[in-house]
Amino acid sequence: MRILLFIGWMLVYGNSLAQPHLAKKQLLLMGSAFELIATDKEEATAWEAIAAAEKEIRRIEAMISSWQEDSYTSDINRKAGIESVPVPKEMFRLISRAQKVSDLTQGAFSLAFGSVYHLYDFKKEAVTLPSDSLIDVHVPLADYQNITLNSDNQTIMLRLKGMKIGFGAIGKGYAADRAKTIMLERGIQSGCINAGGDLTTWGSRPDGSNWVIGISDPKDQEEIVAYLPTKNKAIVTSGDYEKYFLYKGERYSHIVDPRTCRPVREISSATIICPSAELADALATAVCVLGKKDGLALVNKLNGIEAIIIDQNGNKLASENIVLEEY
């Protein structure tokens, strides 16, 4: 889903020169459109921070990319069912955290979702569904419990041949968190990272007000269904708004339930608000898989985490402590 960031250009440039400078860069990273925003009293400092953040994101992409043949992820996937692969401590910890989310969501989130994504073609007009027997064969390949982590020698192994891990549901969130950290280390006290819809903000806008996030309607990207004033929060949305297919009048999301290897159909979009973009990224996908009832029940048990859900009928639901501003 497109998440619109309202930064108040007239307020930024129309007031006193004492206000901080705002630097903004848009670019393509990790296969998605990124937007990096930094504010500082020194314009050069803001641009230097953006350059450092971009460099960090590119470093992470090289480490976890499924498309780059020389990445650790590609090496792990090539050796599935054969042998374990040593990885850097940073990647080992990222996979460990992902496994904890899988435990938390009872398998609704799994890094091994890439093992089954090829079963569905979301670009074809004439769609056919794979047979139940073919789907069932792939279920063990998507099971996160078949990812083995060895902390003694810091290795990862996929137990079954044909397994593939991917970071599409957590990688951009992690990159956004790291980019924010890099900017903070350079003294940037206010900014925003939009990592293809995985968004994290900190500090205030140059005029002193909170950043405001507009969440668009999954069926009409030009319509805003809710506004969220935010400060020091991450907001991530997952859903069927960009990739889906229609089969016999039913809409199927590109998000596949790793427990059944079938596309989810109940939720159009799930937005998670929490301090970490990495966690919000993973939970947004998990909530889409869990569905309205179980997804909200999970979020309501977690401290400091909120959710907004829009179902296939356009109904909007929110977790217990969320406050929406609608216009």
Give tens-digit pLDDT for 158-183: 999 999 999 999 999 999 999 999 99
Beta strands in the chain (DSSP E): 3-6, 21-29, 32-40, 85-86, 147-150, 155-158, 190-195, 198-202, 211-217, 220-230, 234-239, 244-247, 250-253, 256-257, 262-263, 267-274, 306-311, 316-318
The pLDDT of residue 215 is 83
pLDDT band of 118, cuts 50, 70, 90: confident
User: What is the arithmetic mean of pLDDT over 202-211?
Assistant: 84
The pLDDT of residue 18 is 54
The pLDDT of residue 126 is 61
Which position has the higher pLDDT, 197 or 297? 297
Cα–Cα distances in angstroms (integers) from residue 190 to residues 22, 46, 107, 208, in the given order: 9, 10, 36, 10
**What is the chain's mean pLDDT, rounded?**
89
Residue 258 has pLDDT above 80, yes or no: yes
pLDDT band of 68, cuts 50, 70, 90: very high
Which position has the higher pLDDT, 106 or 124? 106
Least confident of 132-136, 166-170, 276-280, 318-322: 318-322
Residue 6 has pLDDT above 70, yes or no: no
User: What is the arithmetic mean of pLDDT over 189-218?
Assistant: 87
Residue 82 has pLDDT above 70, yes or no: yes
The pTM of the full predicted model, rounded to 2 decimals, is 0.91
Helix, coil or strand: residue 190: strand
